[in-house]
Structure 1
Amino acid sequence: MESLGELLKAWPAGKSLTDQADRKLEELLADPLVHRLREKHPELDEQAVRLNLNRVYQYVTEYRNCTNCPGLDQCPNDFEGHYTLLSCDTVQERVQLHDRKVACKKMIARRNEERIKKRIRSFYVDDRALKSGYSALEILDKDPTRAEAAYRVIEYIDRTKEQGLQPNGLYLAGKFGTGKTFLMCYLLHELAKADYSGVIVYMPDFVEDLKSMMHEPAKLRETVEMMKETDLLIFDDIGAENLNPWARDHVLGSILNYRMNRKPTLYTSNYELDGLERHFSFTSKDGDEVYKGQRLMDRIRPYVDVIMVTGDNKRGLK
């Protein structure tokens, strides 16, 4: 932003600096914003404005820039996303004007959004589902057939905000493309605003990646500990993974065993609970292991509220 000193130097030759300053002083004194400032601080007389001409000029200029805001990325003010705010006091009968930089609404909103995003970690989930904006009305109106499910998710969010982390998580079951992941991302986004941390894991890719983590014990330990300790853990599309006994019993089982009675775990799946149990009871290596499937489900079934998500397949639709 051009300073008042630079502006005065650019005035046509033949006019003294004093004349230029007097002209600029008259313009500022006539500005409605300065009128309001002087009404708020009656002690701010013409002499005080003259002595603080550069501060008052910057105050007025940045206010106008903000009134016609071109967006944060094109912010013309000296300090991006901030404007000058003036205050006044009197010390030993001398009026003193003070300026400070204040973050604008757009900058505050950006910082809040960045804070929210830092509280959410995703593994193999499309980031677009987490970065998009959300509104409760959009969640409810997007597909009337899933409105009941959406209401229950919103109720869960409200309960958590009022009462703290819930003893039970949610289990969203339904066919492909009905918006289960979208609803869970909305839940994470809303609860991140309330300072809850969250992790969402796309199960098919996570289980495949575990094979390489077997040879990186430090990375595996760090990943498992994060999933154990986060406030909200979501296993997305559970049941679609190709399980092996080690991933089922030593990784998934360990995480769920730690979290039950501590923190809620949430799920999306194309299976209902009985179908998920059958899925867990079979591995590509050892075949049918009904007992181990039941054992894992004992760490899921009692700790979730089931929500059936109905509606049309929206994948591929704009």
Structure 2
Amino acid sequence: MENMGKDLTDYMNRQRLNQRFNKLVEEALQDPDVQAFIQANQAALSQETVARSAAKIYEYVNEKKKILNGETTLAPGYAPKLVLSNHFIDVSYEPTADLVQKRAQAELKARVKSINMPKDIVEASLAQYDASERQVPLIEALKFVEAYRQAPTDFHQGLYLSGQFGVGKTYLLGATANELALQGFETTLIHFPTFAVEMKNAIGQNNVLEKVNQIKKAPILMIDDIGADALSAWVRDEVLGIILQYRMQEQLATFFSSNFTMNELEKHLTTSQRGDEEPVKAGRIMQRVRYLAREVEVSGQNRRLQSN
């Protein structure tokens, strides 16, 4: 008797569940998108196939409601779509517009590799660049982007942006890199004084060559704030020299920014941290710099002081 009673209870529960499910399916069938899908595919569907697809129809409508209500779905970031599969109705999932946009933004950011650079360059934009007193640098940056877009395998001289502290040289580098990213090109930006310190630390970690190779082979390289600190002969010749020599040989686009003009930078590089005068070695570095980039002065007021 106990088993019979339990079986009867289970049967009644299943009946209630079936009744509830049938009601939910009936409601799902009234969904306008479901109705439109059935109407559009009526030649391939019968009452039997629609009935046997009830679970999928319910899944579709239920997932749609979850998205509208901001609830967690079976496949977060994906929207359900009704499809025909072997003459039955099925559900496929496609990326939502929000997910597509997030992926596109992530791809853009991935194309700009920033090493020890200010955070504000992430949002830097040529369209937002204040061209007052700085029209020439902006025009030159735009010309480079267009020339590179049209012939990315050709050699293009980069820009050597010289100017006083705070006039927007670093921002222009970041804005140019972001514009290149929009065109599908990868750029690496490095803050050279910080990079030089890291290279010295890399000696003890035995990964100097790895770091140098990573930088020297970048499709487009932007070296920010070169000349800001005195360099050791080793960093000048065995790090910077090797990077620039490789890029000159491979004809890879290279940008620089500095508070020094090219002539001033050559004088700066002549004297090592130890005070040694080495004009020949400095001249070799500058020969590569002048081959890779042409000097463009960035003038104007110190915008960092204005923003404070």
Q: Tell me the TM-score normalized by structure 2.
A: 0.81
Cα distance change, pair 236–50 in 1 and its aligned pair in 2 (3 A): same
1:127-175 per-residue CA deviation (whole Å, 9 max, x = no partner) reads x235x44555323xx4544344234323322322221154312212222
Cα distance change, pair 182–37 in 1 and its aligned pair in 2 (3 A): farther
1:104 aligns with 2:96: yes
1:113 aligns with 2:112: no
More helix by share: 2
Residue 140 (structure 2) aligns with = 152
Rg larger for? 2
Cα distance change, pair 21–212 in 1 and its aligned pair in 2 (3 A): closer
User: Residues 154-173 of structure 1 correspond to what in structure 2 (within 5 A)?
Assistant: 154-165=142-153, 166-173=155-162
Cα distance change, pair 138–46 in 1 and its aligned pair in 2 (3 A): farther
Cα distance change, pair 48–137 in 1 and its aligned pair in 2 (3 A): farther
Displacement, 1:32? 1.9
| Distance in 1 between residues matched to 2:161 and 2:64, nearest whole Å | 49
Residue 267 (structure 2) aligns with = 278
| Distance in 2 between residues matched to 1:307 and 1:201, nearest whole Å | 19
| Distance in 1 between residues matched to 2:18 and 2:304, nearest whole Å | 69
* Partner residue of 1:88 out of 84, 97, 100: 84
1:185 aligns with 2:177: no
Residue 54 (structure 1) aligns with = 55
1:230-286 per-residue CA deviation (whole Å, 9 max, x = no partner) reads 111111011102112221122111111111042111111122222222212222324
| Distance in 2 between residues matched to 1:260 and 1:173, nearest whole Å | 20
* Partner residue of 1:138 out of 128, 136, 154: 128
Cα distance change, pair 144–212 in 1 and its aligned pair in 2 (3 A): same
Residue 10 (structure 1) aligns with = none
User: Residues 1-318 of structure 1 correspond to what in structure 2 (within 5 A)?
Assistant: 16-42=16-42, 43-66=44-67, 76-89=72-85, 91=86, 95-126=87-118, 128-129=119-120, 132-133=122-123, 135-139=125-129, 142=130, 144-165=132-153, 166-216=155-205, 218-262=206-250, 263-315=252-304, 317=307
| Distance in 1 between residues matched to 2:78 and 2:110, nearest whole Å | 23
- Give the aligned CA root-mean-square deviation in angstroms: 2.9
Displacement, 1:36? 2.6
| Distance in 2 between residues matched to 1:137 and 1:39, nearest whole Å | 48
| Distance in 2 between residues matched to 1:171 and 1:259, nearest whole Å | 15
For structure 1, which segment, 257-266 or 202-211, has the greater mean C-alpha deviation from structure 2 after superposition?
202-211
Displacement, 1:47? 4.2
Residue type of the alignment partner of 1:138? Q
| Distance in 2 between residues matched to 1:40 and 1:145, nearest whole Å | 61
Q: Does the aligned pair in 2 maintain the 1:38–1:44 contact within 8 Å?
A: yes
Displacement, 1:109? 2.8
| Distance in 1 between residues matched to 2:257 and 2:178, nearest whole Å | 16
Q: Does the aligned pair in 2 maintain the 1:83–1:102 contact within 8 Å?
A: yes
Matched residues, percent identical? 26
Residue type of the alignment partner of 1:122? S
SS in structure 1 at match of 2:303: coil
Cα distance change, pair 145–23 in 1 and its aligned pair in 2 (3 A): farther
| Distance in 1 between residues matched to 2:286 and 2:292, nearest whole Å | 10
Aligned positions, number: 292
Displacement, 1:306? 2.7
| Distance in 2 between residues matched to 1:46 and 1:145, nearest whole Å | 73
Residue type of the alignment partner of 1:88? L
Residue 9 (structure 1) aligns with = none
Q: Does the aligned pair in 2 maintain the 1:167–1:261 contact within 8 Å?
A: no
SS in structure 2 at match of 1:20: helix
Displacement, 1:67? 5.3
Cα distance change, pair 258–14 in 1 and its aligned pair in 2 (3 A): closer
Residue type of the alignment partner of 2:63? E
Displacement, 1:200? 1.6
Residue type of the alignment partner of 2:26? E
